[in-house]
A and B are shown apart, each in its own frame.
Chain A
């Protein structure tokens, strides 16, 4: 805990994420075009935009998972390669094979592999930490379950626990609310708020515009280009939504300029 506080204070002056001039292309078709973005420390930020707007690609290019055509990404002021220990990633649930022969507990322990180093095996200390993380997401009674025997929401919470156990400062989550039950949605939101109260930064690819003002305090709207990025109460308005979604916004943002 102490070292984690120190870690935080050392990073105080730098924004959590700084993206400049980021361009990503698949087969010469631009998916992200010249995106600039700054995520301050300690916010819950949603990335929203229509399907195919490049939300997941933005997340993956920040994490170095897709080749970048141009641009730069800084995590707490330094390139990702030097800051990986501060970063934690919750992939889309559909990105892995849930029939894999492993248990919920073992998946969470995977979050500790890097700290453990090469060759060394996880032991009772790792199991205890992983159980604590499972407890946090309300999944400790499912620790020994094979992962295919969990519901979608439970699988999502296992993924979240794996990220929590890394004890990172910056979290990236790809559609964590996709197809989950109400219990899971509440559990995830609870944890997001707790992370924020601990001064951590969370970036979430989000689909549901309705819940943006309730769940998040910061938002980025993209559609290949960056449309807007800032506090929800300032930039989550009809003008920006129309710019991002075209005429397809089926939903009108209520007045929320107050309290900003």
Chain B
């Protein structure tokens, strides 16, 4: 596989109608789940995606058990209904007991998913092996995606995105400040239900390709990555849709090319790798940049402390030309380690002079700077 012409395989892939279908379908599901995932993430409801997707499994199995259908439309309708039922259970548990959201979500997730697995096992024991294919909903399978599936995906996807666009400002308002939205007269509860319906819809779209177990990652990962690269909500949603689409398409195509590579894990691996990279290096929020900025600031503060130390020494002795040893400076500095390095850097900047080896004084420039720093600190305190 490797070596002998990946380029040819790739060129074949791009011209293959099957792969074009698979790629398009997976890109759409990635885009929709990425966009709606932003709202779940900003509302701190990432776990909801997990609960909904796991809760969908018994819906799929029950629809097959009762009707014998294996069409996407039938099975996914069952999935959506079961996911929605799971959400209603969560709300009922939170309302009537003292359990909190997380506990209720965990409970519903486990009970529904367990029931779904039981149904799948039961179906497997039946003769005729008619359930063949249902278990692809666990980890997803892109390769068998048909044109009709993509048409269905596109239609539902367009509807979901259109509703977000239509109620954009209302959704943003209830996400940012729910109570305020309520005081100006918005039907906040109904808008929240609509948003949850959309989320269930987006998750359902992905079940066929990504599978119930990992679908929640497609809700969280593109949104978390996008948050790193922008500080504006509409750009965040756009970027999350883009990241989701890229992860969906590339993962699905890769898994169709490599035998026995499951689709769901491949897509999710790509999406989460990008999310991780974004957390580390993304925009001003990137952890690496934050760490570097903190280091630069620390170094600057330590150098200022050395300048102020020398300034205080000069004042205490009443003699600006008298040199001071590193030991004396170290005693006055809150950062004792590394004083020598700081003195050398300050010398390069022309702030201090070394009168004789190991003996330091402030230059004219350094004295002005130190005076300025002392005055500034006096003002703020």
Contact = CB atoms under 8 A, between A and B. Distances in A.
Contacts of A146: 231
B176 A97 contact: yes
Contacts of B173: 110, 113
Contacts of A64: 182-183
Summarize B's interface: helix, strand, loop or mixed: helix
B170 A118 contact: yes
Contacts of A5: none
Contact of A166 (B169, B184, B233): B184
A113 B169 contact: yes
Interface string B160-204: 000000111110110111011011111000000000000000000
B180 A89 contact: yes
Contacts, number: 75
A87 B183 contact: yes
A101 B183 contact: no
A122 B183 CA distance: 20
Interface string B216-250: 00000000000100111101100000000000000
A97 B227 CA distance: 14
A110 to B, nearest CB: 6
Given A118-B170, A119-B166, A100 B176 contact: yes
Interface string A121-139: 1100000000000000000
Interface residues of A, number: 32
Contacts of A162: 180
Contacts of B233: 100-102, 106
Contacts of A166: 184
B179 A114 contact: no
A127 to B, nearest CB: 14
Contacts of B182: 63-65
Interface string A83-113: 0110111010001110011110011001101
A87 B184 CA distance: 8
B42 interface: yes
Nearest to B226: A101
Contacts of B183: 63-65, 84, 87-89
A95 B175 CA distance: 12
Contact of B177 (A88, A95, A101, A103): A95
A102 B179 contact: no
Nearest to A92: B179
Contact of A122 (B169, B176, B177): B169
- Rank and list the top 4 A-B pairs by shortest CB-CB distance, nearest first: A146-B231, A89-B183, A84-B185, A114-B184
Interface of A: 60, 63-65, 81, 84-85, 87-89, 91, 95-97, 100-103, 106-107, 110-111, 113-114, 116, 118-119, 121-122, 146, 162, 166
Given A96-B177, A110-B177, 7 more contacts: A84-B183, A95-B179, A101-B230, A110-B176, A114-B184, A119-B167, A121-B168
